[in-house]
Chain A
Amino acid sequence: MIAHTIFFYFFSIITVGSALMVIASKNTIHAVFFLILDFISVGCLFIMIGAEFLGMIMLIVYVGAVAVLFLFVVMMLNVAEQKQSWFRGLKSTHIPVGLIVSLVILSEILVVIGGWKYKANFISTDSIIIDSNFSNTHQLGSVLYTDYIYLFQIAGIILLLSMIGAIVLTYRKREGVKRQSYINQISRESKTSVEVVEVDFNTGVKIDD
């Protein structure tokens, strides 16, 4: 049991420490790498409490996909410079807005945790029967696809909506952009695209385009 405790403290110290470093580090890329470390150690904590499916999904979804896109964006934008200018010029409007948003999130977390802690049947879990003969993944699946199917589907639809929203917001049709059409490229034939021309001496030949 001692090894278990040591590992728990090891991972939790890394989790808290790297979460602090996400905020504290000046270089945005370093902040993203600390975020990745945070995700990984949270995944390890999930595995330690026996939720191996959630731990692996944490690694696959957050570290394997979401954080890669974070890095992608941060590397493309010059965020470091922007961040510095926010802190130097105190006229920035970002800090108060950020503070308000974080206060709202904090109060939400407090309400949820308080409700869960002090009111036992705050979230009804009567229908969930935990059978230790089945693996974690089987139990999760059998609950998710039966009792909570509507919530699960609604979550999926919300994700789909946000995906469509992001595409609609960024998609714009620009004029004068040359596009490659695969159909045209594949269906070209030598008859229509190659032409043999007699060239007169010293006059040359005019090529269209």
Chain B
Amino acid sequence: MEYFDTLLNELYKIAFILIPVLVSVALIVWLDRRIWGAVQKRKGPNVVGPFGLLQTVADALKYIFKEIIIPASSNKVIFVLAPVVTMTLALVAWAVIPFDNDLVLADINVGILYLFAVSSLGVYGIIMGGWASNSKYPFLGAIRSAAQMVSYEVSIGIIIINVLLCVGSLNLKDIVNAQQNLWFVVPLFPMFVVFFISALAETNRPPFDLPEAEAELVSGYQTEYSGMMYAMFWLGEYANILLMCAMGAILFLGGWLPLVDIFPFNVLPGPLWMILKILFLFFLFALVKAIVPRYRYDQLMRLGWKILLPFSLLYVVLTASYLFYFDKLPTKAF
């Protein structure tokens, strides 16, 4: 009976995290299209519901009622598994995201490693989908994305090392609490920029959306997908983008901490600050989509391996030297 109670309690908490995430994914798709429209002096979706807020719901309904077509020559099990993997991985990572000092589903010691591991598994949804479609364009898209995501993961890992040097703990709550006096975006600003670029590449957002380049690959790995399975890829992609924004907010923008801890700012509750920061990062994501043209593939690889990776390695050396020389290494035992 006791097990049953704990189980119900946990399920309630999981639903409390997952449902807001799913709803905000729907809203964020709408926001993305509105921002995109505004940059191009269009209105964007504004018909369904107030300000077009229900546009995503309408789209999702349309996808649900469409037939799911599974190509005859595809590998059926892997073909169906691929969107499920994408969606599951995008949602499962939210378990460790802290929204306030005690508002977190699983407060684990190696939270940042868990986030990094889950985001690096995200590539499997794309590879599986591309390969199982048994068709040329999806396969090319999958191969491209495998190379791209593995490359940019390396620099994200190095950036995380930069932050961890200043914190001395892998726990996400400790990372946020270490920014009480100064958000890491100030001392590590170059790393924040590199993180932002790598996050764009990691989530296949423009200007790095080569896996689904509609011009030459007709949507890459998604070509053969239809109906609900396509919608799952689509939702998983946006949930991943949201996750990357949350990761950026925790690592660099001080998570739930207010801008400064004085009267007008600390009235807002912590979770709201966290959401505001995620939204701010997402706004940057959407702006980049609207104003930057797509990279060529060799330029993308060159940027990842020859510029971002050496630069972030150099910054690790700089950060470590600074902390060591001025005796500022974190010594608190967590």
**Which residues of A approach B to under 8 Å, CB–CB?**
3, 29, 33, 36, 52-53, 56-57, 59-60, 63-65, 68-69, 71-72, 75-76, 133-138, 180, 182
Contacts and interface: CB of A to CB of B under 8 A. Distances in A.
Contacts of A138: 333-334
Majority secondary structure, A binding face: helix
A137 B142 CA distance: 35
Interface in B298-315: 298, 302
Contact of A60 (B117, B131, B143): B117
Interface in B143-158: 143, 146-147, 149-150, 153, 157
A142 B120 CA distance: 27
Nearest to A136: B109
A81 to B, nearest CB: 16
Contacts of A72: 143, 146-147
Contact of B109 (A3, A36, A135): A135
Given A3-B3, A56-B110, A56-B113, A71 B333 contact: no
B108 A52 contact: yes
Given A65-B153, A68-B149, 11 more contacts: A3-B3, A29-B78, A52-B109, A52-B110, A53-B113, A56-B116, A68-B127, A68-B150, A133-B333, A134-B333, A135-B109
A33 B117 contact: no
Interface of B: 3, 75, 78, 108-110, 113-114, 116-117, 120-121, 123-124, 127-128, 131, 139, 142-143, 146-147, 149-150, 153, 157, 170, 298, 302, 333-334
A180 B121 CA distance: 33
B157 to A, nearest CB: 8
B146 A33 contact: no
A168 to B, nearest CB: 18
B120 A64 contact: yes
A4 B143 CA distance: 39
Nearest to A60: B117
Nearest to A135: B109
B124 A36 contact: yes
Contact of B150 (A52, A65, A182): A65
A152 B144 CA distance: 34
5 contacts: A29-B131, A59-B117, A63-B120, A65-B120, A135-B334
Interface centre among B3, B109, B149, B298 (most CB of A within 10 A): B109
B233 to A, nearest CB: 18
B117 A75 contact: no
A75 B334 contact: no
Contacts of B108: 52
B143 A75 contact: yes
B313 to A, nearest CB: 14
B158 to A, nearest CB: 13
Contacts of B334: 135, 138
Contacts of A180: 298
A39 to B, nearest CB: 11
Given A75-B139, A135-B334, A53 B110 contact: yes
